Amino acid sequence: MAWYRFFIACLMTFLVGSQAWAEDACAPRGEMRFVCGLHQPGDIEVLPGGRQLAVTQMNMSSSSFGVGWGPGQLTAVNTQDDSLSPLYPRPSAQVKSPVRKGWGDPACPGEIGTRLSPGGLFLSRRPDGAWQLLVVNHGVRESIEFFEVIRGDVEWRGCVIAPPSSLLGDVAAIHGGGFAVTNRVDGHRLDIVAHLQDYVARGKDTGFVYTWHASHGWRQLPHSEGTLPLGIESDAGGKAIYVAYTGPRGEIRKLDVVTGARLATAQNIQAERLSWDGKRLLATGLDGPYRVNACGRQPGRCPAPFHVTALDPMTLAATRVTAQGGGLVEGATVAVSQGKRLWIGAFLGNRILSIPR
């Protein structure tokens, strides 16, 4: 019944008028709350202590020359009063930090600073107890940036530059101090690059998963090929990963992080990002079967219905958590659980949505 929810949402938008919609965009609607003043808040992580969310502001744009990445930011959202504060880069930060030993690649060329254009996030605990925030970056360089979370602030510690012709999606820490990251499109395959829309529409392989360890660098994970791999998560031990693939055969796979062996599969789920809700995996994305024009044809808008689905981490058996009509956020990508609420980000627009769990 996703089409019905979408129709009702569009009808209500028409009845209240576009000006009223714009004025009330951030006003609470019953138990729904909105946090505005953001730009393309595509990924969210709950920071230690639970009182702050780290939110990405990517700053992606498109033109006749292709996709561009402008300066973005990591922003903190206070979960008590919904206030915003900059995490990185901070206006007061003048001196760039040196690469910290053991944080990424010693050959990292230096701190990203104001050139950061963040995509996927992953928070984890290092063996020494430090909180590590991995950030996919598209600004100036395609890279994984390493940050340390210290008392609600983040400090840059290092980076790993992606292989040439990569288009990274999301990242997750894995066993042994490394990480796994989705590579949406194999840029070395000119046939894929030239006919990407056709490849995706037909459900053909476009990308795969990379792993990286300091001991051996980048490796392509065997058997991880699929259509536009996007979201990724790892299990508690970092020995298995969960990967969301889109396209007509939208699915989520659980893979062994060394061999790439498929351990479980959930089919017919369109998901942009994955997150943990206690013991369950949450998959978030646009609702219904894959459509190239699911966002509509208005530039900068994606008022499409979306879903949040819980998955059993062993079997990937799926249970729908919520489904929302169009217009609440512009292209839902991720849902994270904090307290008694879900916080939902989007790859377009200026706000995130908060709803009761």
**2 belongs to a structural domain:** no
Which pTM value belongs to this model? 0.91
Buried b or exposed e, range 321-335, using 16+ CB within 10 angstroms: bbebbbbbbbbbbbb
pLDDT surpassing 50 at residue 186: yes
**74 belongs to a structural domain:** yes
Sorting pLDDT into bands at 50, 70 and 90, what band is 24? low
Q: Are 197 and 191 in contact (CB under 8 A)?
A: no
Sorting pLDDT into bands at 50, 70 and 90, what band is 3? very low
Strand ranges, E, within 104-207? 118-125, 131-137, 143-150, 153-161, 168-173, 179-183
Who contacts 217 (Cβ-Cβ below 8 Å, separation ≥6)?
none
Sorting pLDDT into bands at 50, 70 and 90, what band is 11? very low
| Tokens 């980000």 found at | 345
pLDDT surpassing 90 at residue 171: yes
**151 belongs to a structural domain:** yes
Q: Point out which residues pair with 281 in neighbouring strands.
A: 276, 311
Number of domains in the chain: 1
pLDDT in tens, 264-296: 999 999 999 999 998 999 999 999 888 888 898
**7 belongs to a structural domain:** no
Domain that holds residue 269: 39-277+309-321
- The pLDDT value given to residue 95: 66
pLDDT in tens, 327-339: 899 999 999 999 8
**10 belongs to a structural domain:** no
**193 belongs to a structural domain:** yes
Q: Are 52 and 77 in contact (CB under 8 A)?
A: yes
Give the domain CATH number at 214: 2.120.10.30
**343 belongs to a structural domain:** no
Q: Which of 306, 317, 328 is CA-nearest to residue 281?
A: 317
- The pLDDT value given to residue 64: 62
**346 belongs to a structural domain:** no
Q: CA 75 to CA 84: how far, in whole Å? A: 7
Buried b or exposed e, range 124-151, using 16+ CB within 10 angstroms: beeeeeebbbbbbbbbebbbbbbbbbee
HSE at residue 51, side-chain half, CA atoms within 13 A, is 7
pLDDT in tens, 98-113: 999 999 999 999 999 9
What average pLDDT is seen over the chain?
90
As a whole number, mean pLDDT of residues 19-29 equals: 61
